[in-house]
Amino acid sequence: MLVRKDFWSLICRGRKKRIVTLVIVFLFLLNAMFYVSIELYNSVSKRKNKEPWYDSLHFDKNSYVDESGMRVIVGHYVGGSKGGNLSDEVINSNNYAPVPGAGEGGRPVQLSPRELITAHELYSLHSYNILVSDKIAINRSLPDMRGESCKNVVFDLEKLPTATVIIVFHNEAWSTLMRTVMSVINRSDERLLDQIILVDDASERRYLKEELDEAIAKLDRVQILRNPTRTGLVGARLMGAKRATGDVLVFLDAHCEVTIGWLEPLLDRAGSEDVFICPHIDLLSEDTLAYTKSIDAHWGAFSWRLHFRWLIPSSSVIKKKLENPAKPYPTPAMAGGLFAVKKSLFWKLGGYDKGMIIWGAENLELSWRAWQCGARVEITSCSRVGHIFRRHSPYKYPGGVAKVLNSNLARAASVWMDQWADFFYKFNPSVAEIRDKQEIGDRVDLRSQLNCKSFNWYLKNVWPQHFFPTADRWFGRIKNGKTNCIGVTPGTPGLGGPAATVSCGGDLDLDSLLVFTPEGQLMADEGLCLEQGNGRAVWKSCSDSSKQIWIQKGPRLRTSDGLCLTLIDVDESKSEVTVGYPLTAMKCTLDTKQIWHFERVPWR
Ligand code: LR7
Ligand code: MN
């Protein structure tokens, strides 16, 4: 056996031994000092941080906006998950088992490593963490998320209209659905809440049958309707709306939680006959169900491919909002799931397009219809509602997600977008293919009966900051040499960022096509504009910054400071043609790296 002495003599002897001992002691002391200072720092910074925990969370930047100021929230889903290899027993059982205190105050729930494995296995069922949801009481508490100016507004409850809250669902988890319902019951004044209508869009899960009926029967003013066959959310919402007895229809997704004071600002505004009013949508984390504030000012719009997007509002809207944060502000489009509207206005404007199936596009259709037919779409920051954003759709899309979505998009575009429908179809041939299959006669009639305005009017007046091509905007490719085009590198993390050339595609390739406005903005899809940054051109959310102005002087693009857009870091020694060269504004020279060819492409 090796004794200690032998061990030491093996590695060192005499003076060396002393040095090694000293080094070990020194390392030990250093380590100890490190721990003490970390602890000290923690306790001091904890003391400094007196605000409640949720105030330190401004918004979950990564899951809401990116560097350019926008992000996919309601995207085009990967649908069709059946729940993997889960057994029928697992899929159909309700495992709601609240743990005292879990998630109270909107706090996150953390799972043990073992539970995390189970949560992971169950994830595909709902595309959010069902284990966490089942641990949180269905009547959990939430903080007051309103800004100070909102808390000071006084409403005369006797004068406000009453609400019918409509919640449609398909295969929703029991606990999230019930938490949505309970949050409405607990945080709505009795005088204002006429009824809650749940519409089951032909769910298959066993726990959503008698078990749900029994739970609902115990609640006052709540009723449940069952759609005999699955129509999708439009059909289900129409079913609910037809049975509504309240003055105002308030729609919510089935995985929401409303916070204190949510209903009054909605009803106050929805009382008037010309507005669709949306709450400020906060985030319920799909992993921990923590309630997190979303960015203060956002408005809804859409990309060239008609994907719904959140954008930073125009500077005039932001200015007005700062002057009076409690006042509702206009938005070009709504996200779709959470809004209030006077029942009479909803029906006067044609309810919903019944031809839209399952999911998607009805939010844009409703927004365009509202604006073009004399109403408005607004957001009030004083009504705060949390919603679980999901990255994937957990349910099936009969015929596939693309087919469903494309036919809905075709309906919306054909009825409302005029020339811009042609733009959409030109660059989305798979949608163009099914364009003529849509029976939209009655929706076109509705548009003319209501005497609705054009899409051109909408773009000009409701969304003047839009990034679509128009008659007076140049559209096409801007090329250096044969292969390098100005464009947004596809798949750039978080969109935007440093600008480099992309490979010039064909005439249908939106990635290398740009809008060039008479004012000098170079716009790509997704509302990104080319901006001269510090030593490097970048793609940024379009704004009125002078750094986004590029003046065409012959074959050159000049900034307001008189610099020229230049391709840099070109490796002349390389014989093969490459792309991906950085762009920046530099002193104008005769160099070909500043020579651009403008190739116009018809946009429709
Ligand atoms: O076949 C279906 N039948 C249904 O009843 C498919 C869905 N549904 C229900 C579903 O259970 C849910 O309650 O419809 C509701 C909406 O479906 P989600 O939650 O899958 O949609 P989403 O939140 O991802 O998508 C947004 O865009 C949709 C486009 O059709 C709808 O307008 C959603 O209501 C809308 N959600 C929001 O606006 C919430 C805020 C998200 C943001 C931003
Ligand atoms: Mn939703």
Residue 376 and residue 328: Cα distance in Å, rounded?
11
For 297, left (φ over 0), alpha (ψ -120 to 50), or beta? Answer: beta
Asked if 346 and 428 sit in the same domain, the reply is: no
User: For 10-14, 276-280, 307-311, 355-359, which range has the lowest pLDDT when averaged over its residues?
Assistant: 10-14
Residues 6 or more apart from 387 whose CB is under 8 A from it?
A: 253, 255, 256, 281, 282, 283, 284, 337, 338
- Name the strand (E) or helix (H) holding 387: strand 376-388
Asked if 324 and 254 sit in the same domain, the reply is: yes
Sign of the CA dihedral 69, 74, 77, 79? positive
Asked if 441 and 297 sit in the same domain, the reply is: no
Residue 326 and residue 271: Cα distance in Å, rounded?
17
Q: Residue 308 pLDDT > 90, yes or no?
A: yes
Top-confidence range, 42-56, 172-186, 575-589: 172-186
Nearest to 164, CA basis, from 136, 188, 143? 188
**Residue 37: CB atoms within 10 Å:** 10
Please indicate, yes or no, if residue 469 is contained in any of the structural domains: no
In sequence order, what DSSP letters do the residues of 247-271 get, joined into one string?
Answer: SEEEEE-SSEEE-TT-HHHHHHHHT
CATH number at residue 203: 3.90.550.10
Residue 349 and residue 398: Cα distance in Å, rounded?
29
Asked if 294 and 339 sit in the same domain, the reply is: yes
Q: Helix or strand or coil: residue 590?
A: coil
Please indicate, yes or no, if residue 133 is contained in any of the structural domains: no
pLDDT at 25: 66
Asked if 196 and 159 sit in the same domain, the reply is: yes
Angle at 564 between CA 563 and CA 570, to 5 degrees: 125
Q: Which atom of ligand 1 is nearest to the CA of 394?
A: 20
pLDDT at 572: 73
Mutate to test the pocket of ligand 1, among 72, 253, 306, 395 (most ligand atoms within 8 A of CB): 253
What are the residues facing 586 on neighbouring strands? 564
Higher pLDDT, 599 or 22: 599
Q: Tell me the CA–centroid distance for residue 33 and ligand 1, in Å.
A: 54
Please indicate, yes or no, if residue 200 is contained in any of the structural domains: yes
> Which of 388, 414, 447 is the last residue in one of the domains?
388
Angle at 69 between CA 58 and CA 310, to 5 degrees: 90
pLDDT at 491: 72
- For helices 210-217 and 174-186, the axis angle rounded to 10 degrees is 10
Asked if 161 and 303 sit in the same domain, the reply is: yes
What does the pLDDT average to over 314-339?
Answer: 94
Nearest to 256, CA basis, from 128, 96, 115? 128
Residue 166 and residue 162: Cα distance in Å, rounded?
13
The rounded percent of the chain whose pLDDT value lies above 70 is 86
Asked if 346 and 421 sit in the same domain, the reply is: no
Chain centroid offset of residue 573 CA: 45
- Which ligand has its closest atom nearest to the C-alpha of 180? 1
Please indicate, yes or no, if residue 350 is contained in any of the structural domains: yes
Chain centroid offset of residue 58 CA: 16
Please indicate, yes or no, if residue 18 is contained in any of the structural domains: no
Q: Does ligand 1 lie within 6 Å of residue 294's CB atom? A: no
What are the residues facing 553 on neighbouring strands? 556
> Which of 439, 462, 485 is the last residue in one of the domains?
462
Asked if 209 and 338 sit in the same domain, the reply is: yes
Asked if 310 and 449 sit in the same domain, the reply is: no
CATH number at residue 487: 2.80.10.50
| Closest Cα to atom 22 of ligand 1 | 74
Please indicate, yes or no, if residue 67 is contained in any of the structural domains: no
Instruction: pLDDT band for 18, please (50, 70, 90 cuts).
Output: confident
* 146-203 residue pLDDT tens: 999 999 999 999 999 999 999 999 999 999 999 999 999 999 999 999 999 999 999 9
The residue segments making up the domain with residue 424 are: 401-462
Asked if 453 and 497 sit in the same domain, the reply is: no
Residue 317 and residue 330: Cα distance in Å, rounded?
8
User: How many domains are contained in the chain?
Assistant: 3
- Which ligand has its closest atom nearest to the C-alpha of 77? 1
| Closest Cα to atom 14 of ligand 1 | 233
The rounded percent of the chain whose pLDDT value lies above 90 is 79
Please indicate, yes or no, if residue 448 is contained in any of the structural domains: yes
Q: Helix or strand or coil: residue 569?
A: coil
Asked if 573 and 456 sit in the same domain, the reply is: no
Residue 500 and residue 580: Cα distance in Å, rounded?
5
What is the pTM (predicted TM-score) of this model? Answer: 0.88
> Which of 357, 388, 419 is the last residue in one of the domains?
388
Asked if 205 and 332 sit in the same domain, the reply is: yes
Q: Does ligand 1 lie within 6 Å of residue 201's CB atom? A: yes
Higher pLDDT, 596 or 3: 596
